[in-house]
Every structure is written in C-alpha cells, then in structure tokens.
Amino acid sequence: MGTQAPPAPDAQTNGTKKSAEQQKIDDWLPITSSRGAKWWYSAFHNVTAMVGAGVLGLPYAMSELGWGPGIAVLILSWIITLYTLWQMVQMHEMVPGKRFNRYHELGQHAFGEKLGLWIVVPQQLIVEVGVDIVYMVTGGTSLQKFHDTVCTDCKHIKLTYFIMIFASVHFVLAQLPNFNSISGVSLAAAVMSLSYSTIAWGASVDKGKQSDVEYGYKSHSTAGTVFGFFSALGTVAFAYAGHNVVLEIQATIPSSPEKPSKKPMWKGVVVAYIVVALCYFPVSLVGYWAFGNAVEDNILVTLSKPRWLIAMANLFVVVHVIGSYQIYAMPVFDMMETVLVKKLHFSPGILLRLITRSAYVALTMFLAMTFPFFDGLLSFFGGFAFAPTTYFLPCIMWLAIYKPKKYSLSWITNWICIVLGVLLMVIAPIGGLRVIIVKAKTYKFYS
C-alpha cells in the first residue's frame, strides 16, 4: 500500500482523468454529486439506515429465542456488524487516488469486473428494495395504529389506504437529488428512532412485569419452536442492516491524502453504534421482561396505554421510516440513473428523474399493499439478503484483497464471521417463509 496519492482523488478514476462529459454525469448522479458532508452526517445517516422498523420486532424475536440465546445473538450481532462496518470504511479508499463510492465497485475490485457485479448488485438490490417494501408496510401500519388509537370510534380504514397515504410523501421526497439534500429528513428520522425506542421500553417499564407472564417458548410443537427460532435470527439480522448504504454515505464525505474520509466516517459510525445499542438493548430486554412470550411482533401493538404516548410513538415511527425509506432508495436511484444515462444514453435531467423515481415508489407501494406480512417479511429478507451483505461479504472481500496470513487473528476472525453469516443466511429465511405461508392461508388481498 503506497502512501502517496494523486492530489484530487475525487476527480480521478483508475488513475486517468475523466472526460468532461463523464465528470458532468458523475456530478449529476446521486452518490457522486456531493462531497461536502461532515462526520455527523455519517452518524445520523447510519442511525437512520440501521435503527428501522426492526427494533420494534426485537422483543418478539427475544420471545422466540429465549433469554440466553437471545442476549447472545443480540450482542454477537452488534460486535460482528461493527467489525464488518469498520472493514468497509477502511476499504473505501484502499487504492491510492481512487474511491469505491458504491458497494458493487468494491465488489468488482475484490472479485473482478463481471463477477463482482453479479455477486453484489442482486444482493444489494434485494436488501434495498426489500427494506423499502417493509418500510412501506411499517409506515402504513403505524399510521393505521395512530388513527385507531387517537380515534377509537372512527370507521375502520383499510391498511391499503394507509400505505397509499404513506407512499404519497415519497413521490415528493424521492425527487431530492442526493444524500446531502436528504440530511434534514435523515436527522429528524434519527431523533425519532431514539424517541420511539425510549417510549417502547419506557412504557414497558411503566407497565411492569405482567402477572401472567411466561418466558417459555410460544409454540407447543418442536417444529414450531425451531422455525420460530430460525425466523427470530432473521429478524435480528434485519435490525443490523446499515452496511448496504455505508460506502455510498462515505462517498459524500470530502477526502484528500492528508485527510482521508475514513476518519470522519468512522467517528460517525461509532456514534451511530452507541445510539443503536441505546435503542436495541433496552427495547428487546425490557419488552421481553414485561410481556414474555405474549409480546406481539411489533412492541407498540402490545402497548395500548397510555393512549396519547402510544399514538405519539407510532407517529415517530412514521417520520423515522420516511427517512429510512429515502436512505435505502438513494443507491437504487443511483443504479437506475447510472444504467439509463451511461448504458442507454438518456440525457440526465429532471424529467428522467421524475419518471424513474416515481415508478420505483409506485412499485414498492404496490408490493407493500399486496404482501403486508410484517414479521415474516422481516425475517425472510433479514436472512436471505442482509446476512451476506452485512455479516460476511465484507469479510470475504477483506480476505480476497488483503490476504492476511493463514491462522493469524485477522484470518480467524474473518472466517468466524463468514461461518456464522452463512449459517444465518441458510436458516433464517426458512423460518420467515413459514411465517409468510401460515399468514397467507387466512389473508385477504387489499383488506
């Protein structure tokens, strides 16, 4: 690794000057258009990306895992994902004079031009589109819960309509050009995540341990218990999913050989992970302690009183998932616009952006309205796509690029993460799929 790098890494690629036209396109694309972010942008973008709807499902995951395994899985996930996030921040600028602004660019460097694309892009798309669908469901469900809590005598309104109301905000917000332009939305979302997490565990403490509380496994059959355990692992994986946008967030931070972007980025990540711990651990442990295996798949559904506080918490969730949806949608917008402008030679402009981004919001809205199985979706997507991109793909890239000595600490650590991540990827979707199948039996479309 050389220390001397060309003076302006942002304006260079593969060591050669970009053409003026290429530079113009890069200045228009969402990920590379802005380089003025501060370290705290990284903090709240990462909090918004990570502390999503997943935190509300953690007490339910604890009820499927039990005290010992539940605490172990939560702590292990926090440590492993912080380690793999550190690796990604380090790898962002490991080639002097070049920045890996997108997850797939790092994949191409590690595995080769074609293979890197095929390994990373499908998984990243499944994660980002999957999260946006789940957030559409969460936003709609929380709006519905807010409405029903505030107005107990009102006529019942279908979840479908609430999802449409939630989606209408995104048709407008999706037109914001890049990460820096959504930093206000993201900051509000990060504050909300801490607020509703505090309400969730605070209200649980206030309710206290229920008189009929049971901590045994919910299911009476062995198969049910095993599948529930698998599903809960997926829910936990879903809760630690910020890695899919971390390089794209780091790309917005200015960088020079003297002041590389990894320092401010890492500072932001550490702050974000402290906030994550403050949200996740109290919610999961206190929620499970208070309600045991009677807890719902969304802790706020279990907490029905005090009414005004639960209504407020649901509104906070809505604001938070508005920000989270945009954070995960931005790399998808970048991929779509890159293909349209660079490969299909459409001219970049407002009209192209309006059509492509509105079409994406409409698609996620339609899929959310059609399949709103919240907990099943969490564990299915959590295991199927989050485990690779969050738990072990960074480790494989690290081994491929840095080639640490066999049986050294780095080599052993990475292989442990890979084995645990692969196990998670294989078993979590099985549990999630079972939940979806069970719910689908009694489900009526667009109800």
> What are the b/e assignments for 191-215, b being 16+ CB within 10 Å?
bbbbbbbbbbbbbbeebeeeeeeee
Report how far residue 170's alpha carbon sits from residue 365's, in angstroms, rounded to the nearest whole number.
Answer: 10
Residue 17, H or E segment = strand 16-17
Length of the chain: 447
Residues 171 and 358: their CA atoms lie apart, in Å, by 6
Per-residue pLDDT reduced to its tens digit, 99-130: 898 889 999 999 998 999 998 888 888 888 88
Residue 7 has pLDDT above 70, yes or no: no
386 or 348, greater pLDDT: 348
CA distance 34 to 55: 31
Q: What is the pTM of this model?
A: 0.85
Q: Give φ, ψ of 90 to 5 degrees.
A: -65, -40
Cβ pair 324, 149 in contact under 8 A: no
- Residue 9's pLDDT is 44
Name the E strands within 144-250: none
- The answer for residues whose C-beta is within 8 angstroms of residue 75's C-beta and 6 or more apart is none
Q: Which residue would you say has higher pLDDT here, 175 or 134? A: 175
What is the enclosing helix (H) or strand (E) of 12?
Answer: strand 12-13
Q: Which two tokens stand for residue 422?
A: 């692969």
Q: How far apart are CA 216 and CA 66, in angstroms?
A: 7
pLDDT band at 375 (very low <50, low <70, confident <90, very high): low
In sequence order, which residues have a C-beta less than 8 Å from that of residue 28 and are 6 or more positions away? 337, 341, 348
| Mean pLDDT lowest among 88-97, 162-171, 406-415 | 88-97
pLDDT in tens, 396-425: 999 999 999 999 999 999 999 999 889 888
Binned at pLDDT 50, 70 and 90, residue 378 comes out as: low
Measured between its terminal Cα atoms, the distance across the chain in Å is 58
Compute the distance between CA of residue 431 and CA of residue 224 in angstroms, rounded to an integer.
9
Note the helical H segments in 297-392: 299-302, 307-338, 350-370, 374-381
Most confident stretch, 26-40, 167-181, 429-443: 167-181
Indicate if the pLDDT at residue 394 is higher than 70: yes
Indicate whether 240 pLDDT > 60: yes
Query: Under a CB-based contact definition with an 8 Å cutoff, are residues 195 and 316 in contact?
Result: yes
> By the 8 A CB rule, do 86 and 243 touch?
no
Sequence-ordered list of residues with C-beta below 8 angstroms from that of 321, at least 6 positions apart, any chain: 52, 53, 135, 138, 139, 142, 166, 189
Partner residues linked to 218 by β-bridges: none
**Beta carbons of 388 and 421 less than 8 angstroms apart:** yes
Distance CA 378, CA 277 (A): 20
